[in-house]
Amino acid sequence: GEELVITGRDGERRDDERETPEPGTTEPGTAEPGTPVPERLRVNVIRSFPHDSRAFTQGLLWHEGHLYESTGQYRRSSLRRVALESGEVLERRDLEPRIFAEGLARVGDRLYQLSWQEGQAFVWSLPAFEPVRTFEYDGEGWGLCHDGTHLVMSDGSDELFFRDPETFEIVRRVQVRERGRPLDQLNELECVDGVVWANVWQTERIVRIDPRSGHVTAVVDARGLLDDEEREDADVLNGIAWIPERGHFVITGKYWPRMFEVEMVPR
Cα–Cα distance, 175 to 184 (Å, whole number): 9
Q: Which of 61/219 has CB closer to Ca ion?
A: 61
Vertex 84 angle, CA 248 and 40, to 5°: 30
Q: Which of 68/201 has CB closer to ligand DDQ?
A: 201
Give the DSSP H/E element, type plus range, for residue 17: helix 15-18
Q: Is 255 in the site for ligand DDQ (CB under 6 A)?
A: no
Quick one: which segment of 46-54, 59-67, 89-97, 126-134 binds Ca ion (CB under 5 A)? Answer: 59-67
Q: Is 197 in the site for ligand DDQ (CB under 6 A)?
A: no
**Count of residues that bind Ca ion according to CB under 5 A:** 4
The correct pick among 62, 112, 137, 142 for binding ligand DDQ (CB under 6 A) is 142
The amino acid that residue 238 corresponds to is: N
Instruction: Please say whether the beta carbons of 91 and 80 come within 8 A.
Output: yes
**What track of x and - describes contact with ligand DDQ for positions 4 through 43 (by CB under 6 A)?**
----------------------------------------
Give the DSSP H/E element, type plus range, for residue 231: helix 228-231
Q: Which of 62/201 has CB closer to ligand DDQ?
A: 201
Q: Is 137 in the site for ligand DDQ (CB under 6 A)?
A: no
Instruction: Please say whether the beta carbons of 195 and 208 come within 8 A.
Output: yes
The correct pick among 116, 122, 161, 242 for binding ligand DDQ (CB under 6 A) is 116
Paired residues of 57 in beta bridges: 71
Largest Cα span, the chain: 61
Minimal distance in Å, beta carbon 139 to Ca ion?
A: 20
Measure CA 95 to chain center: 20
Binding site for ligand DDQ (CB under 6 A): 58, 102, 116, 142, 156, 187, 201
